[in-house]
């Protein structure tokens, strides 16, 4: 009689899962992928670029027709090719600012922010990455739109008193300043979305900051306007791409410092709430 002895073979060990570390580079890559995965990103960036170029061309065409007809509006009398080309900046800032709000507040409205913060428990790298990624994208779109608008607009007003080329003093600085301004507006939008955690609330504050408050300040006595007006976000940022400055406006350097201060204040508020309060 023989006895058969069988030995059970141990199942093969499962391969160890690789340990992933949360690094700044990976958080940036994640935010970059999320930004471009949304259809609203492409649509809103396209609208911002369209507003910047289209309104610049419309303003340049209106100036040329007014010069030739002899019925030029007073608002256009002292215009230059740069100011006409950048006429659409105020419209583009709304598109880019609104998209900045959506980048952060949109995740709160859908609940996706829970997954984001679970993957990055320290929280603040998420805010810095969102601001850096979208700020860079808005900067590139704004700068591209400014130079494209100027390229076509300067051709339209060629041969008129507003004619200018890139070699004109301050022209390149103004166009680059417009791109920088729009990039920082995008960062402010990101900060407002993270601070208020509401798409409607963030957009409302953005519109009030850049459009309604300057209008209300213009109703104040002139002495108050001169003291408050230059330091408003829209006016301080506007000095970045203004070709000339009067005695009541900030210089480009001072305007940049003030606008950076407003941007930092918005980011600081968003960072404080992100760290101190639950999702």
pLDDT, tens only, 184-194: 999 999 999 99
Question: Is the pLDDT assigned to residue 2 strictly greater than 80?
Answer: no
The encoded tokens of residue 95 equal 């598109």
- Quote the number of domains for the chain: 1
Tens digits of residue pLDDT in 142-167: 999 999 999 999 999 888 888 898 99
Is 6 inside any structural domain?
no
The encoded tokens of residue 91 equal 């419209």
Q: Could you tell me where the beta strands, DSSP code E, fall in 135-226?
A: none
Q: How many CB atoms lie within 10 A of CB 234?
A: 20
* Predicted pLDDT of residue 246: 78
Is 176 inside any structural domain?
yes
User: If you average pLDDT over each of 40-44, 76-80, 131-135, which comes out highest?
Assistant: 131-135
Enter the pTM of the model. 0.89
Question: Is the pLDDT assigned to residue 4 strictly greater than 70?
Answer: no
Is 79 inside any structural domain?
yes
Choose between 49 and 69: higher pLDDT.
49
Query: Which residues neighbour 101 within 8 Å (Cβ) at sequence distance 6 or greater?
Result: 189, 190, 192, 193, 199, 202, 203, 206
- Assign 74 a pLDDT band (cuts: 50, 70, 90): low
Domain that holds residue 125: 24-276
Is 17 inside any structural domain?
no
Is 195 inside any structural domain?
yes
Is 9 inside any structural domain?
no
Is 3 inside any structural domain?
no
Is 4 inside any structural domain?
no
């Amino acid at each position: 009689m023989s006895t058969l002895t069988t030995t059970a073979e141990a199942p093969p060990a499962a391969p160890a899962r690789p340990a992933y570390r949360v690094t700044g580079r990976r958080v940036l890559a994640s935010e970059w992928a999320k930004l471009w995965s949304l259809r609203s990103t492409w649509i809103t960036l396209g609208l911002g670029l369209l507003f910047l170029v289209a309104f610049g061309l419309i303003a340049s065409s209106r100036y040329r027709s007014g010069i030739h007809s002899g019925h030029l509006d007073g608002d256009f009398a002292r215009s230059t090719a740069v100011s006409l080309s950048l006429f659409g900046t105020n419209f583009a800032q709304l598109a880019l600012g609104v998209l900045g709000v959506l980048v952060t507040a949109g995740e709160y409205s859908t609940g996706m922010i829970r997954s984001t913060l679970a993957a990055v428990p320290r929280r603040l790298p998420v805010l810095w990455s969102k601001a850096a990624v979208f700020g860079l994208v808005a900067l590139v779109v704004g700068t591209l739109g400014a130079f494209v608008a100027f390229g076509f607009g300067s051709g339209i007003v060629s041969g008129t008193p507003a004619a200018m080329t890139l070699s004109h003093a301050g022209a390149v600085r103004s166009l680059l300043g417009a791109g920088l301004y729009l990039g920082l507006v995008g960062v402010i939008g990101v900060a407002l979305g993270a601070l208020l955690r509401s798409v409607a609330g963030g957009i409302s504050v953005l519109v009030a900051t850049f459009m309604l408050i300057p209008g209300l300040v213009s109703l104040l006595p002139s002495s108050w306007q001169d003291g408050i007006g230059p330091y408003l976000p829209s006016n301080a940022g506007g000095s970045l791409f203004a070709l000339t400055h009067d005695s009541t406006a900030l210089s480009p350097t001072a305007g940049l410092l003030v606008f950076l201060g407003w941007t930092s204040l918005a980011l600081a508020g968003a960072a404080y709430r992100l760290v101190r309060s639950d999702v």
